[in-house]
Each structure stands twice: as C-alpha cells, then as structure tokens.
C-alpha cells in the first residue's frame, strides 16, 4: 500500500473528487495517504455503507469507533457484527475517564447541561479521536456525512482541510441521498443499526438520543433534553470538523 506525505492541492483535489464514484474517492484516499487514511464510523447507516466499501475493496486501513461509554447496546453489537462478518480492522477508542469517574470528577452528569454537553462530547468523542490521529500520524479521516442531511452539511465539499490534525476529512458519499443509502444496504445485505427502524434517524449516545415523531427534523432526537424555549439546542457533537465549530 502506497504511503505518501504529499499535500494535495485542495481546489484541484476537490475538482477531481467531485466526479468520481464513492469507491474511486476511497481509493484516491488510500493511494494518497496509505495507512494514514482511516474511516471514522458512527455505526449509523452511512457508516454501514462505507464499512462495507472497506470490506469489498479489501482495505485493512483502520476504522475508528469511539466508545463513549454511553452508547446504546445495539451500537456496540453492530460494531461486533461488522468485525465478525467482514473481519474489518475496527479500532475502538475510549475516553480517558469512565462515565462514573467523569461524573465523580465534575460532580454531575455533564450531558444534562447545555455547557456540560459540549465538554462531555469533547472529552468523550473529540479528544480520543484526535489523540489517536495525532499519535499515529493519521492524515485523512473518511466520514459518512452527506449534503442531503441539510443544516451545516448542506454545502459539504468532497475534501476539507482539518486544522486540528493538520490533515484532511473526506466525504466519499457526500452527494448520496437517503434512497441511495437504503438501496446500497439492501442490495449488498449490509447490517444496519436496528434503531433506524424504530424512528431513530440519527443515533448518538443513549442518554442524548430519542426517537423522532413523523415530520420532525431527522436530528430532532439528538440532545432533545437541552432544547429550551426559543433555542433549538445543540445539533452536532463536533467530532467532525465538517460540522463547523469543532475546528
Ligand atoms: S452525546 Fe451526550 S453522553 Fe455522548 S458524549 Fe455527547 S454529551 Fe456526552
């Protein structure tokens, strides 16, 4: 596998990547960055698609999964299913403190408070991810974010610089619709997070995720307990630099 320290020209790379297929974009990442190109997986449906691409392309690059300690049991079981079925190189990352030790240290459950949630997501998601990226010299993270999710993601470009890692984030399926995701998963019989079928279009930690009602925004179930009158509450955990304020 080629390993390169080449710094791609962002404008030229985006022009090239724009018209490629998802598989060609992933191949470009691996040929450009070798083992320093990784996939960051949330275990949601877009991640299932990308993990299946890693399987079908026989990639041994790392697939990073951050176990916050607050995940649904179904999320952890899905990770295990992908390892069992496809023998993927899934690496589970952990925060420095267990949930119990964090709660003792801060004398509260951080996620219950608007300012605490930001710190909780930072400590339990962003820090373990960035620490791994820096410690192992990883340069490009592939993520399953898509334009059709709307909000801050509506104008995603294929490739983005991530100043946090001095590297890049690649969105191999940035232009895919929900229908394309669904069709791919069905066609290839890929395991899907079971809560998606129970009105959870977006899934994070169990204590910060609820199902959505018909007609609600797909992300309305995230941090619903922090929504107050006149304030829609947090929408992103910011582990992805593409979501803006995590930079
Ligand atoms: S989603 Fe909730 S529990 Fe999970 S890391 Fe963020 S604030 Fe903490």
Q: Which tens digit of pLDDT belongs to each residue from 23-52?
A: 999 999 999 999 999 999 999 999 999 999
User: Looking at ligand 1, which atom is closest to the CA of residue 125?
Assistant: 5
CA distances for 18 relative to 9, 24, 28, 142, 157, angstroms: 14, 11, 12, 15, 8
Q: Within the chain, where are the H helices?
A: 10-18, 22-33, 45-56, 73-86, 99-106, 114-121, 127-135, 178-187
pLDDT tens for residues 155-205?
Answer: 999 999 999 999 999 999 999 999 999 999 999 999 999 999 999 999 999
**For residue 19, is pLDDT > 90?**
yes
Calculate how far, in angstroms, residue 121's C-alpha sits from the geometric centre of ligand 1.
5
Q: Is the CB of 120 under 6 A from ligand 1?
A: yes
Q: Is the CB of 129 under 6 A from ligand 1?
A: no
What residue spans define the domains of the chain? 10-194
What pLDDT does residue 234 have? 86
**For residue 247, is pLDDT > 50?**
no
Q: Is the CB of 204 under 6 A from ligand 1?
A: yes
Burial 86-121 (b: 16+ CB within 10 A, else e): bebbbeebebeeebeebeeeeeeebbeeeeebbebb
Phi and psi (nearest 5°) for 171? -110, 85
Cα dihedral 229, 149, 138, 93 sign: positive
What pLDDT does residue 246 have? 38
Q: Is the CB of 68 under 6 A from ligand 1?
A: yes
Q: Is the CB of 205 under 6 A from ligand 1?
A: yes
Angle between helix 45-56 and helix 73-86 axes, rounded to 10 deg: 10
Answer yes or no: are the C-beta atoms of 99 and 69 closer than 8 Å: yes
**For residue 124, is pLDDT > 70?**
yes
pLDDT tens for residues 75-107?
Answer: 999 999 999 999 999 999 999 999 999 999 999
**For residue 143, is pLDDT > 60?**
yes
Q: Say how far apart CA 98 and CA 96 lie, in whole Å.
A: 7
Place domain 10-194 in its CATH homologous superfamily.
HUPs (3.40.50.620)
Could you tell me the strand order of the sheet in which 63-66 lies?
Answer: 90-93, 63-66, 37-40, 140-142, 167-170, 159-162
| pLDDT bucket at 152, cuts 50 / 70 / 90 | confident
pLDDT tens for residues 51-68?
Answer: 999 999 999 999 999 999
pLDDT tens for residues 200-236?
Answer: 999 999 999 999 999 999 999 999 999 887 787 888 8
């Amino acid at each position: 596998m080629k390993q390169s320290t080449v710094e791609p020209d962002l404008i030229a790379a985006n022009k090239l990547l724009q018209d490629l297929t998802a598989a060609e974009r992933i191949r470009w990442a691996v040929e450009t960055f070798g083992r320093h190109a990784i996939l960051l997986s949330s275990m949601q449906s877009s991640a299932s698609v990308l993990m299946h691409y890693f399987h079908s392309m026989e990639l041994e690059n790392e697939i990073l999964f951050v176990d916050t300690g607050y995940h649904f049991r179904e999320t952890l079981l899905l990770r295990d299913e992908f390892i069992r079925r496809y023998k993927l190189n899934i690496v589970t990352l952990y925060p420095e403190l267990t949930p119990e030790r964090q709660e003792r240290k801060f004398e509260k459950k951080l996620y219950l408070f608007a300012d605490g949630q930001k710190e909780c997501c930072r400590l339990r998601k962003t820090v373990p991810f960035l620490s791994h990226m820096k410690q192992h010299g990883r340069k490009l993270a592939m993520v399953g974010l898509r334009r059709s999710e709307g909000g801050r993601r509506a104008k995603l470009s294929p490739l983005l610089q991530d100043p946090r890692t001095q590297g890049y984030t690649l969105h191999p399926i940035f232009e895919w619709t929900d229908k394309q995701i669904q069709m791919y998963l069905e066609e290839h019989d890929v395991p899907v997070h079971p809560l998606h079928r129970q009105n959870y279009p977006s899934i994070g930690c169990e204590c910060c995720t609820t199902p959505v009602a018909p007609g609600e925004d797909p992300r309305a179930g995230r941090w619903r307990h922090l929504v107050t009158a006149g304030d829609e509450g947090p929408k992103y955990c910011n582990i992805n630099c593409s979501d803006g304020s995590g930079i």
